[in-house]
Structure 1
Amino acid sequence: MREDYAATVRGAPIRKEKVAAFLNAGTPAHLTGGGLYRSAAPPRGASSPHGAAPARRHRQQRRWATQVVISDELARRACAQRGLPPPDGLEPMRLLTVPETDVADLGSIVAAVLAHSPAARALLADLGREQHIPEPAVRDYYDRNRDRFLTPGALRRGVDPYDDPDPADLQPYRQVRDGIAQELLRAAARRAFFTWLDEARAGVEYAEGHEHPADPSHPDHEHRH
């Protein structure tokens, strides 16, 4: 692999300068180095050379950014294979707000990919159109999560949703059914996206210093995604 390549995707190069450009765009610290990929402190009593922690943090940021750039490239290819219209915006490396809830639900890499990559969002939407949530699954969610469907009055009175509540204390199924179905469909689409990404990354080869942040083959890996 050439020295100026961060990785290859089935033989096609991803240049290091593209990864650097993404980092230089000002990716929020809570995604790269200020939170999720903050390097662990050295063991108590161990010495820590000046500058070691910032250098380690920078390596993790670079590895993290490589994953975002590669995922965008993989999504572009998947969209082309599926015959989807070219996503708006040829260059996804624009700073967008990434909600903290998405980071918690998806992990920082996937959350950033979906925020920055039009191709990834187009692919997610297409995967969502392939999902089907059967009616029994929607009803089962309603029955198992009654705490989410108490009426405001029942909440004020402290009604226990699992102690055979009065039907009047619950929002009727017909009123919340569509919202439940949309939530389950969204979750199914995200699971499909995770599966696709895991399989698509199998054909990626990384240059030294650009491995996945959670790759245990390098000494300062992080298990968080």
Structure 2
Amino acid sequence: MEDNDFTQTQKEKVRLLSEYRSDFDELLEAAEKLRQRSVEEWPEQFQKQLSDDLWSEEWMIRCEPREYGCIFKHGWYLNDENLEPTNVAEETNGYSGLRLHFNHLIRSEQSFSQGQLTYRLRCPTNVPLRDEFHQLYNSEQWQSKLEPLLDEKGITNKGNKRDYMQKTYDVDQSGLPESYFKTLVVAFKEYLEIADIVDEILDEARVNIKD
């Protein structure tokens, strides 16, 4: 009897899907168009939602390419020539320059179609300084400071060379696109205390590499 009820329920759901499929597709298409427009506008829209006490001159946004969604602190982008701070991503290209940043995945269709905002700490440059940072990040010394904070905030501690930590937030789809940027502010604020520790780890790694 239960099997018959289950089958009947599934059939009814499939019938409804078939009946309203064109409406669903139209809604998803609208969400995607809104997302594509928001990719181009996210730096300005994000900063509109920020209060003055959260943002300071030490924080920067990588505006191009905008779909990467990068937010970083002064000193997290280091040039290839002598590992000095830079705001120009192209100066980090090469065999020693480093890019370390938080980024949000607005380039993912799911960000609007499913109401999800993923925010993570990422280092895409494969260089010796990243190896040193990775080793220090995963050391007992720094994990003892990071783990309690990450656990408290529900942030996944990945500890990979490329991806270090990550959290996915629910976004109120009825309020898009503004709700996405409000959620981005929540994520940015939640990671501020963690960013201070990341600062210290990167400073130590940089000194070790230069010695």
Task: Please give the TM-score of this superposition, normalised by the length of structure 1.
Answer: 0.26
Q: Which has the higher strand share?
A: 2
Q: Which has the larger radius of gyration?
A: 1
Task: Please give the TM-score of this superposition, normalised by the length of structure 2.
Answer: 0.27
